[in-house]
Amino acid sequence: MVAGTLTVLICLSMAVLIQTGWFPFLEEEWGTKKEWLALGLFLEALFLRVLIPPAGPVQVHVGILMLLPLLNRWWKRRKENGLMLTSSAFFAGAILFLLRELYWIEPVAQWGGPRGGGLLITLAVALLSSSSLSDRLMVTVGGMWAGEGMFLSFHRRELNPVSFGEADFLDFLWSAMVLTLLLHVGFKHALHWVRNVKGLT
């Protein structure tokens, strides 16, 4: 699969699902109408490969910048202490960076191996950091940004250009965000089911 395809599929699928009434709690939790969420996801898919600046030693993909308004909203609505969430994100990022360094030094397997392990650890850190979806997504996104930033900073002399937010990274990021959302919803329903069962006994 071409890098970036997964991000486009996720964003367009989520836009359709949200617009048709799925995940209605997102409007209340984030204080944003579903139309704006769907539009943001569509624009993410549309501007995925746009670079700022178009040429130069350091480039940032617009797909990364599109997440900033959402991160700002999550931060303002956080439930846990900001320092704790930031520490959790950097902890997850450090693990991602170390796993990627191991692959860089000894590429004995495909990058999917270390990346898969890093994904599981990041999800675990995010889910344990808070019971709030916004907090969990902040740790997921922040951790992945931190890990990618550490890697690019450490290898800046070997990379030309230094590009933050490449399509394969966005595939990884959006997969993690959707998994965080689905696990959050799954755990919430499982807890509700357990409480109902206890209430019947």
- Give the pLDDT confidence of 141-185 residue by residue, as tens digits: 999 999 999 999 988 888 888 889 888 899 999 999 999 999 999
| Residue 154 structural domain | 5-200
- Give the pLDDT confidence of 67-97 residue by residue, as tens digits: 998 899 889 888 888 899 999 999 999 999 9
CA angle 140–73–30, rounded 5-degree value: 90
131 Cα distance to chain centroid: 17
| CA–CA gap between residue 174 and residue 162 (Å, rounded) | 21
- Give the pLDDT confidence of 180-189 residue by residue, as tens digits: 999 999 888 7
Tokens of 133: 């979806």
pLDDT for 136 equals 94
| CA–CA gap between residue 107 and residue 23 (Å, rounded) | 40
- Give the pLDDT confidence of 16-54 residue by residue, as tens digits: 999 998 998 888 888 888 999 999 999 999 988 888 887
pLDDT for 180 equals 94
CB 164 within 8 A of CB 144: no
**If phi over 0 gives left and psi between -120 and 50 gives alpha, with beta otherwise, what is residue 51?**
beta
| Count of domains for the chain | 1
| Cβ contacts of 152-161, under 8 Å, gap ≥ 24 | 154/97, 154/101, 155/104, 160/57, 161/55, 161/56, 161/57, 161/58, 161/59
pLDDT for 170 equals 92
Reported pTM: 0.88
